[in-house]
Amino acid sequence: MKVCIVGASGHYGYALEGIHKRDGIQLAGIAPGSKDERIGELDRSVQAFQPSVSQYEDYRIMLDELKPNIVVINSYFNDNANITIEALERGIHVFVEKPVATTYEDLERVEDTYRKSSVHLATMLGLRYERHFFTAWKKIQEGGIGEVRLMNAQKSYKLGKRSRFYTKRETYGGTIPWVGSHAIDWMHWMSGQKFQSVFASHSTLYNQEHGDLEASALCHFTFSNQVFGSVNIDYFRPEQAPSHDDDRIRIAGTRGVIEVRGQKVYLINDEIEGVQELPLLSGGQIFDDFIGHVREEKKSLLSAEDSFLVTRACLKARESADSQMVVYF
C-alpha cells in the first residue's frame, strides 16, 4: 500500500507515526501543496526512516506518477479542499488536515466529489484518539452520566510566533475552524445529538501582530433534545505554562458529570462516593485506524460524514462570530 504526503503545514506526523506501526505501507512521495510552501522539515523527517522517498514540486504529477492508495494532505488550510478534490477524482483515499475546507463553497465541492467516489476520507481530528478523550467518550456511551445535557469544552494554546499564513483569514480560515474544530467535534461525538444552532464571538485583539488571527473566541451551540454546549478558545496560554495546550471538556448528564482536564478523566455519578479518576483506555492511533478502515479490517472511529459535519459546524460558528447573528443548521 502506497502513501504520498502533500504539504507540511499541519499534522503529517500522525501519518508518519501510523506508517511506523504498520507493515506493508510504503511512503512513496512528498510534495508541497501550496504556493511557496516549505516542506523541508517533512523531508528531513521522512529521510530519517525512508531515504528512497521521491520529492515532487507538483503534487498532481506525483499523484499521477506514483498512483498512491492514500494521500495525506496538510498544506495551507485554504488549499486543502482543492488538493482533496484532486485526490478524490483520482480515486485515492484522503487523510486530510481539519477542517477539510475553509469556505462553504469548497466544503460543498469536496462533499460532492466525495459522494461520487468510493474511497475513504477522514480529517485529522486526532484528539478523539487521545486516551483521555476516548475514555470519556466510552464512559458516556456506557451510560456513566446518563443522558448528556450540558457541555463545556476548552481549547487554550500558546501563541508563539506563527507562520505567515496564519495571519490571513484567506489562508488560515480562522481560529474557530483551526483550533475550535476539535472541541466542536467532541460535543457532537460525545452527546450523539444533532447540531441545531450556533451563536459565536471572536476577537483579534491582543494577537501579538498576527493579523487576522483571532486570539479569543466563544461559541454557544444548541443541539437536539435541548442539549447545549459552549466552546471557549484562546491563544493566551503563557509561554511558561507547563504544556502547549490546556484541552478540556466537562459534560453534565442526568446521572452524573464527567470531565477531561490535564489529560485525566474525572467522574462523579449517583453510584460513586467522591470523585473517581478513571483508568485511561487506549483510543488507538488515528492513521492506523484510517488504514484499518481502508483495508476493511474495521470501521474507523471517525467517518467522512463526521468530518464534513464538523467542518460545516466550524464554518457556521465562524459565520455567526463574523455577523454577530445566530446561525442555524
Residues near a second copy (CB under 8 A) are 147, 149-150, 152, 154, 156, 197, 199, 201, 203, 205-206, 215-218, 220, 222, 225-230, 232, 234, 236-242, 246, 250, 252-257, 268-275, 324-326
**In the complex with a second copy, which residue's Cβ is closer, 87 or 187?**
187
CA distance 261 to 23: 35
Cell of 235: 491563544
Using the structure block, give the residue that is written with the C-alpha cell 479490517.
Answer: 297
**In the complex with a second copy, which residue's Cβ is closer, 25 or 227?**
227
CB of 224 to a second copy, least distance (A): 12
User: Taking CA 233 as the corner, what is the angle to CA 85 and CA 242, rounded to the nearest 5 degrees?
Assistant: 110
**In the complex with a second copy, which residue's Cβ is closer, 88 or 159?**
159
Answer for the pair 315, 103: CB distance below 8 angstroms, yes or no.
Answer: yes
The number of beta carbons lying within 10 Å of the beta carbon of residue 194 is: 13
Answer for the pair 159, 214: CB distance below 8 angstroms, yes or no.
Answer: no
CB of 315 to a second copy, least distance (A): 19
CA distance 286 to 293: 11
Question: Residue 198, SS3?
Answer: strand
CB of 268 to a second copy, least distance (A): 5
CB of 119 to a second copy, least distance (A): 39
Query: In whole angstroms, how far apart are CA 177 and each of 17, 96, 152, 217, 319?
Result: 24, 14, 17, 11, 11
CB of 209 to a second copy, least distance (A): 13
**In the complex with a second copy, which residue's Cβ is closer, 54 or 226?**
226
**In the complex with a second copy, which residue's Cβ is closer, 141 or 323?**
323
